């Protein structure tokens, strides 16, 4: 195996000389002698056979070759810094990866707000977000397949949940759909005669008793965006989170239906940590940020 001609320390010194504007300034910041920095950069240039810096007055300037090599060197030193940080974090119990189960009715913007605060403090932790539906979320919680879960409805037995917000569901169809011609829908039987658009439960063993599924004809899709696309083609009706269709309701491309005694339905979304005993510091931080976000911005 060929040995590298240069060292990471030489590249870090070169970066410091450029970033701080000269050898004397870099020496002060690095707490090293100016002569040692001069020697390190001169040796680097000799080993590579390329001039990286040229000094004009009291300031060092990059050559064209120096600019190219310095730019690449920053990627390398950054990767090494992240590797060293990861090793340190693993030793302290900081998780290298977190997996979040997000019930798809939970507004993604809320989670992104919390993650934007988490990122600067994340120490390189990778985050995976899994969109889940109905009992699919509970299944992941029970199996402890995720580190943190945002679930709809009561948490699985044996788990404690922290309520985050309530989501309103409204009954929706196209303005030209036969149901839209009714000022009020008197009973479920009227709906049962129409095509219902439903969202597929992500559980391996879904609970078919959950949700209103009395229509004889049903089409099942993976998410509400697909359901809304079907509704806009004048087909079927669907219970949809109000925040996902408010724009369509306002511009009259979709219409809210009024079912006697049940014009809206409500789902409470909660935060669950599937295994508190194994919760690490990164998970604790993200949990706190999500809760702080909801306390600061009640919905």
DSSP run (H or E) holding 170 = strand 161-173
Q: What's the rounded Cα separation, in Å, for the pair 85 and 61? A: 31
Q: Is 153 left (phi over 0), alpha (psi -120 to 50) or beta?
A: left
What's the confidence (pLDDT) of residue 297?
A: 55
Q: Domain ends where: 92, 124, 155?
A: 92
pLDDT surpasses 60 at 209: no
**Residue 89: pLDDT above 70?**
no
Burial of 71 (0-12, 13-18, 19+ CB in 10 A): exposed
22-26, 113-117, 272-276, range with the lowest pLDDT:
22-26
Output the pLDDT for position 298: 43
Domain residues for 67?
Answer: 8-92
pLDDT given for residue 97 in this prediction: 93
Residues 243 and 181 in one domain: yes
Residue 1 has pLDDT above 70, yes or no: no
- The Cα 24–Cα 3 span in angstroms is 31
Domain boundary among 58, 92, 126: 92
User: Residue 54 pLDDT more than 90?
Assistant: no
Least confident of 28-37, 51-60, 175-184, 271-280: 51-60
Q: Is 77 a member of any domain?
A: yes
Together in a domain, 138 and 286:
yes
Domains: count for the chain: 3
Contacts of 36 (CB under 8 A, 6+ apart): 27
What's the average model confidence in pLDDT over 1-13?
A: 81
Of residues 151 and 213, more confidence is placed in 151
Let me know if residue 140 belongs to a domain: yes
pLDDT of residue 107: 94
Question: How high does pLDDT run on average in the chain?
Answer: 87
Stretch 79-90: mean pLDDT: 71
143 and 282 in a single domain? The answer is: yes
Give the end of a domain, one of 40, 70, 92: 92
Any domain includes 3: no
Mean pLDDT over 65-75 rounds to 90
Assess if residue 2 is contained within a domain. Answer: no
pLDDT in tens, 98-142: 999 999 999 999 999 999 999 999 988 999 999 999 889 999 999
Average pLDDT over residues 5-10: 87
Whether residue 216 is predicted with pLDDT greater than 60 in this model: the reply is: yes
In the 8-state DSSP scheme, what is residue 163?
Answer: E
Report the range of poorest mean pLDDT among 237-241, 274-278, 288-292: 274-278
Same domain, yes or no: 149 and 292: yes
> What's the pLDDT at 4?
76
Percent of the chain residues topping a pLDDT of 70: 91
Q: Is residue 221 part of a domain?
A: yes
CATH code for position 29: 1.10.10.10
First vs last Cα of the chain: how many Å apart? 61
Q: Do 287 and 139 fall into the same domain?
A: yes
Assign residue 216 the CATH number of its domain. Answer: 3.40.190.290
Please tell me whether residues 17 and 70 are part of one structural domain: yes
Residue 1 lies in a domain: no
Three-state SS at 184: coil
Average pLDDT over residues 256-270: 85
What's the whole-number mean pLDDT along residues 63-78?
A: 90
- Most confident option among 18-22, 60-64, 95-99: 95-99
**Beta-ladder partners of 170:** 240, 264
- Please say if the pLDDT value at position 55 is more than 80: no
Q: Are residues 194 and 253 in the same domain?
A: yes
Residue with tokens 């509704």: 231
The reported pLDDT for the residue numbered 299 is 44
Given a cut of 80, is residue 92 above it in pLDDT? Answer: no
| Main-chain phi, psi angles of 126, to 5 degrees | -85, 140
Tell whether 214 and 235 lie within a shared domain.
yes
pLDDT band at 91 (very low <50, low <70, confident <90, very high): low
Does 259 lie in the same domain as 174? yes
């Amino acid at each position: 195996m060929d040995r590298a001609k240069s060292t990471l320390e030489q590249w870090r010194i070169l970066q410091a000389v450029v970033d701080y504007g000269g050898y004397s300034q870099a020496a002060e910041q690095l707490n090293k002698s100016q002569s040692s920095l001069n020697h390190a950069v001169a040796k680097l240039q000799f080993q590579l056979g390329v001039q990286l810096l040229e000094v004009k007055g009291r300031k060092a300037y990059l050559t064209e070759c120096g600019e190219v090599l310095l730019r690449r060197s920053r990627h390398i030193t950054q990767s090494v810094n992240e590797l060293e940080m990861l090793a340190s974090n693993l030793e302290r119990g900081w998780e290298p990866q977190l997996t979040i189960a997000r019930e798809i009715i939970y507004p993604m913007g809320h989670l992104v707000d919390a993650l934007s605060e988490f990122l600067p403090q994340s120490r390189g932790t990778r985050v995976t977000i899994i969109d889940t539906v109905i009992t699919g979320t509970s299944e992941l919680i029970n199996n402890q397949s995720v580190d943190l879960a945002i679930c709809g409805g009561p948490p699985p037995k044996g788990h404690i949940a922290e309520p985050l917000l309530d989501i309103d569901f409204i009954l929706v169809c196209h303005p030209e759909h036969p149901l839209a011609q009714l000022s009020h829908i008197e009973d479920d039987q009227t709906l049962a005669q129409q095509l219902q658009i439903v969202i597929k439960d992500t559980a391996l063993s879904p609970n078919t008793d959950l949700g209103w599924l009395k229509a004889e004809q049903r089409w099942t899709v993976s998410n509400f965006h697909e359901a809304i696309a079907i509704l806009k083609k004048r087909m079927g009706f669907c219970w949809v989170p109000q925040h996902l269709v408010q724009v369509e309701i306002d511009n009259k491309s979709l219409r809210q239906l009024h079912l006697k005694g049940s014009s809206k339905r409500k789902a409470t979304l909660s935060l669950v940590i599937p295994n508190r005993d194994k919760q690490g510091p990164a998970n604790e931080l993200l949990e706190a940020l999500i809760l702080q976000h909801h306390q600061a911005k009640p919905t």
